[in-house]
Structure 1
């Protein structure tokens, strides 16, 4: 009887969006780690493209590749917050999606070097169709969310057919067709949630986003550290490499501090806020993944292996930093911060962005990010003191 009960499938009913103590599962964390493999390869290919001077092509390829990675991750994450049963079939379909990620990773290099997206698209379709199976299963016991599950399943299936058909188009139509299909992918949740809402757990969702951000920052820090260690043997002097090392550590710590300063769950109370938060994280995640590529480009310049010259080489890391900081401010900090913070954070992102045009980029970038963090610490302490004083007065 025990073996039989374990083999049975649990009804995939909508989960309580107010469930106390809801946290990320070990399967979700395992799922994230597999995705970081693809992110790491995409960052490496972006680094090679930038170093060789193929800036526009590299950024465009990185944008498309990262969309596939991010979109598959995000759709699984939002599905899981609504219908995670953690039974054997749910796990098998999730592992199937993870296998698709690994195949997708093998297609990243051809996408960058040959503009051949065949493997990448096929792997992406496998991941998405595995999620369609989850949506169809969820529709059986979805209750008020049943209509939304049907729209998700039908919409995702149609778009995957279009992805496969796009492989038959001539090369000159690849970019415009992919842009149209990206728009189609983004439209499916908008239609589904506007027609029949699925429940989501704000704390669980924001925890998932925060954990993936931590993994991306860790991957960038590791890749940057490895590049610096390898460059030690080729650099004529260690001073510039020490400066890059200090910048890398300080910047990564500052990004972590800035991201986790605000309470993110307040940003996804309604449909509009949830869509903005979910979609806007594409830029935050992509920037976190690209930061290491920018640091490696800067190291290549110092060791004489880059086709880029200043200030373009420095822009390769200041742009990701600026996008990350501004994105976090726009999505999570701005709604809950005071005037000081809402002035300091976007100003800091702008100063980081234009830093390569100034004579001392390393020191200035570090100083700007430290100043932004200092303002956050100051205002948080002021707020806590004011709250404590109000409590005493009451």
Structure 2
């Protein structure tokens, strides 16, 4: 069977027509499930009034999911040779993500951490195997691959130990270990260099953003389903569903308005693009829980009041807008957008959900008008 293996060499970062593969798209589907499960736990914590508890749990779950996705995405952009072993190890990572998602309740109640840790171990065994295989390619990429393998193995040993430390120390130690994880690519890329593909990476990030925004649409769908069942609140819930849809559309429009691949030029810009997306991704994933919290409030099934229910939507929308603006738009767009997007983020914190939807609709109009103005000289010229 060894004869069916392909050499795992570093891919050309300027390779033409490099797009997401069917395996990568299948891999992303696992995260639809993982994010949905984690968001569900977050939603239940919010409607029960356990806001801080829910936020911390959601952040912990999301960081684990995001980091698993990050590890695979940046590895595959450099070393995907699509042979049977690469595919098999990718499927093993997918299995690990599912196990982690099934055990994600532990991040909210602090019990039975064994299940998510097992999920992490499964993912890491597969990923470290991939890096060890890539380390045979030679050159700077091999040096980076060896550092990745060593760093991830060491970190995983610490994660296993984390499950057995006193409960009151788990949250701060979790974030310390996550900070250690974030340092691994810095050291690895300085020891060598992997050959990431800017267009491929930004496409992968765009696809993951679409998955997260799709979760927001799921919240709107739940509002419609509840409206059908609860005649008393039908009009309010239907209007909430429309508002949630407009908000998701606005977030999509803002995110995909600029060209992303220009943001990745060297190591520092690649790290900035990869890491700063954690805020954008987390915010996009939290909007769905916020919409469902609104559904609970409007149907009198939530411990949160009017202000808390609105902030459950407003805060993630504001973080998303500011994240996209700071990473992709600041200093590179016309003056109108330089103040319009931060203002929209501020208004998201102050307005109810329907007001946020109106702000997003105005933002869409400004983006469309700005794009038309930018294209006008070239159109006139021809």
TM-score norm. by structure 2 comes to 0.96
Tell which deviates more after alignment, 140-149 or 14-23: 140-149
Structure 2: segments with no counterpart, 5+ residues: none
Task: Please report how far the alpha carbon of residue 163 of structure 1 lies from its aligned counterpart in structure 2 after TM superposition.
Answer: 0.5
Shift, 1:387, TM fit: 3.4
Q: Quote how far apart the aligned CAs of 1:68 are.
A: 0.6
Report SS of the residue matched to 2:233.
coil
Q: CA deviation at 1:115?
A: 4.4
**1:152 lines up with 2:153 in the alignment:** no
Check if 1:352 corresponds to 2:348.
yes
Q: Distance in 2 between matches of 1:111 and 1:363?
A: 32
- Per-residue CA shift, 1:38-96, capped at 9, x if unaligned? 10000100000000000001000100111110000011000000000000000000000
RMSD of aligned alpha carbons: 1.5
* Local SS of the residue matching 2:168: helix
- Paired position in structure 2 for 1:358: none
1:370 alignment counterpart: 361
Determine if contact 1:7/1:88 at 8 Å carries over to the other structure. Answer: no
Identify the match of residue 206 of structure 2 among 206, 210, 213.
210
Structure 1 unaligned blocks of 5 or more: 356-360
The answer to whether structure 1 residue 130 and structure 2 residue 134 are counterparts is: no
Q: Is the 8 A contact 1:243 1:362 kept in 2?
A: no
On the 8 A contact 1:258/1:373 being kept in 2, the answer is: yes
1:240 maps to 2:236 = yes
State the partner residue of 1:274.
270
Q: CA deviation at 1:335?
A: 4.7
Aligned partners of 2:201, 2:17: CA distance in 1, in Å? 13
Question: 2:80 maps to which residue?
Answer: 84
> What pairs up with 1:374-389 in 2 under 5 angstroms?
374-389=365-380
How many angstroms does 1:291 deviate by? 0.9
Once residues 337 and 111 of structure 2 are traced to their aligned partners in structure 1, the CA distance between those partners, rounded to angstroms, is 43
Cα distance per residue 1:212-263 (max 9 Å; x no partner) = 1112211221243124312432352322112201111111111111111000
Matched, 1:329 2:325: yes
CA distance in 1, matches of 2:84, 2:331: 41
Structure 2 CA distance for partners of 1:223 and 1:194, relative to 1, 3 Å: same
CA distance in 1, matches of 2:38, 2:182: 21
Structure 1 220/277 Cα, relative in aligned 2: closer, same or farther at 3 Å? same
Equivalent-residue separation in structure 2 for 1:94 and 1:336 (angstroms): 37
Pair 1:299-2:291 in alignment: no
Structure 1 position 109, deviation (Å): 1.9
Q: Say whether 1:179 aligns with 2:170.
A: no
Helix, strand or coil at the partner of 1:352: helix
Counterpart CA distance in 1 for 2:21 and 2:154 is: 31
Deviation at 1:7, TM superposition (A): 4.4
* 1:37 alignment partner in structure 2: 33
Return 25-34 or 176-185, whichever deviates more.
176-185
Name the counterpart of 1:252: 248
- Separation in 1, partners of 2:241, 2:309: 16
Q: What residue number does 1:190 align with?
A: 186
1:10 is aligned to 2:6: yes
The separation in 2 between residues aligned to 1:197 and 1:335, in whole angstroms, is: 29
State the Cα distance separating 1:126 from its structure 2 match: 1.7
- Given that residues 231 and 299 in structure 1 are in contact (C-alpha distance below 8 angstroms), is that contact kept between their aligned partners in structure 2? no
1:312 corresponds to 2:303? no
Q: Quote the Cα distance in structure 2 between the aligned partners of 1:298 and 1:80.
A: 39
8 Å Cα contact 2:155-2:181 kept in structure 1: yes
1:69 maps to which of 65, 72, 90:
65
State whether structure 2 residue 52 is matched by structure 1 residue 56.
Answer: yes
2:109 is aligned with 1:109: no
Structure 1 Cα separation of the partners of residues 61 and 289 of structure 2:
15
Displacement of 1:347: 1.4
